[in-house]
């Protein structure tokens, strides 16, 4: 009863009701909520803190941002309150602005795939690997919407597609279902700390995933941990660049890497027999990519 009473008091604020209705529709970060609700960031953060204390919202990290979503399920005693808030008249126009924001987010995702997967070269790599490798168990670190995972699944024995972004994984699952693939498992986890068993995986691929993580060395350490002895790693990454706009628009944590830097990190993580291939810059793109491969000692 006390929890319900506190919830009534918390939801007596109209701004909190608006925020709650928005995060019930889609996971949103603070900046996105500010743009929809139209109040100061400090105020939005304060309201989110109150809602989080009551368990009405939950938070999760994805692509360098903290996203907030509804923390109440249908069986919770607070569910009727949430239902009333969601069904209330949208006199402030929040839902229309939310629709525009989600469309812009989808456009950014398409931009990310178009600009930062130069030539969609992974399709060619996947086809080549199909003819060179025996069927192996593969882990795709930072699978996003599953473009690479589904391509690999056509020749791999199994694929574990890993990402923290709930919306991206939903799209990836739909892609795999649409293509009739049954050997792909989707895992929503932090690449720094995976639940996969040690020494069982045959191949780990990271297609431009490291620039999204806080600690690349820890992620490469996890790759080494889950690989069987002699297991392979393939890393496609961006060369160091000065396109700072990718931090806000695409959630990048790092402005690319030097190949020598990542090679040293791979050796420290337990990889050997390293190879490197640097791709030329495409005229239409400000980015240049390089490919590293290695084998677990």
The pTM (predicted TM-score) of the whole model is: 0.65
What is the distance in angstroms between the CA of the first residue and the CA of the last residue of the chain? 58
**For residue 293, what are the CA distances in angstroms to 15, 231, 232, 259?**
51, 11, 7, 11
Could you read off the pLDDT of 156-179 as tens digits, one per residue? 999 999 999 888 899 999 999 999
For residue 258, name the pLDDT band (cuts at 50, 70, 90). Answer: very high
Q: Give the per-residue pLDDT at 286.
A: 79
118 band by pLDDT with thresholds 50, 70 and 90: very low
Half-sphere exposure of 250 (CA within 13 A, CB side): 22
Pairing of strands 158-162, 57-62: unpaired
d(CA 151, CA 188): 19
pLDDT in tens, 90-105: 778 888 888 888 877 7
What's domain 117-296's superfamily in CATH?
Vaccinia Virus protein VP39 (3.40.50.150)
CATH code matching the domain that covers 2-111, chosen among 3.60.10.10, 1.10.10.10, 3.20.20.70, 1.10.1670.40: 1.10.10.10
pLDDT mean over 46-64: 81
CA distance 238 to 241: 8
The domain locations on the chain are: 2-111, 117-296
Would you state the pLDDT for residue 284?
61
Predicted confidence (pLDDT) per residue in 237-248, tens digit: 999 999 898 888
């Amino acid at each position: 009863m006390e929890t319900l009473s506190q919830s009534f008091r918390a939801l007596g604020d109209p701004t909190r009701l608006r925020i709650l209705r928005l995060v019930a529709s889609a996971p949103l970060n603070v900046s996105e909520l500010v743009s929809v609700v139209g109040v100061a960031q400090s105020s939005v953060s304060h309201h989110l803190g109150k809602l989080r204390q009551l368990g009405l919202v939950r938070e999760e990290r994805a692509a360098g941002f903290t996203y907030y979503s509804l923390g109440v399920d249908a069986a919770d005693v607070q569910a009727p309150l949430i239902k009333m808030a969601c069904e209330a008249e949208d006199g402030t126009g929040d839902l229309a602005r939310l629709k525009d924001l989600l469309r812009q987010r989808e456009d950014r995702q398409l931009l990310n795939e178009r600009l930062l997967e130069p030539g969609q070269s992974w399709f060619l790599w996947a086809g080549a690997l199909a003819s060179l490798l025996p069927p192996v168990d593969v882990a795709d670190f930072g699978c996003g919407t599953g473009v690479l995972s589904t391509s690999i699944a056509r020749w791999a024995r199994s694929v574990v597609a890993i990402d923290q972004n709930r919306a991206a994984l939903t799209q990836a699952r739909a892609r795999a279902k649409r293509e009739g693939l049954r050997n792909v498992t989707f895992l929503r986890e932090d690449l720094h700390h995976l639940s996969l068993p040690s020494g069982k995986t045959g191949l780990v691929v990271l297609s431009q995933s490291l620039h999204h993580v806080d600690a690349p060395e820890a992620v490469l350490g996890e790759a080494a941990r889950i690989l069987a002895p002699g297991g392979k790693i393939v890393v496609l990454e961006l060369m160091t660049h000065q396109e700072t706009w990718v931090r806000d628009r695409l959630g990048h944590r790092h402005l690319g890497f030097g190949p020598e830097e990542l090679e040293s990190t791979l050796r420290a993580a337990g990889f050997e027999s390293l190879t490197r291939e640097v791709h030329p810059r495409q005229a239409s793109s400000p980015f240049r990519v390089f490919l590293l491969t290695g084998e677990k000692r």
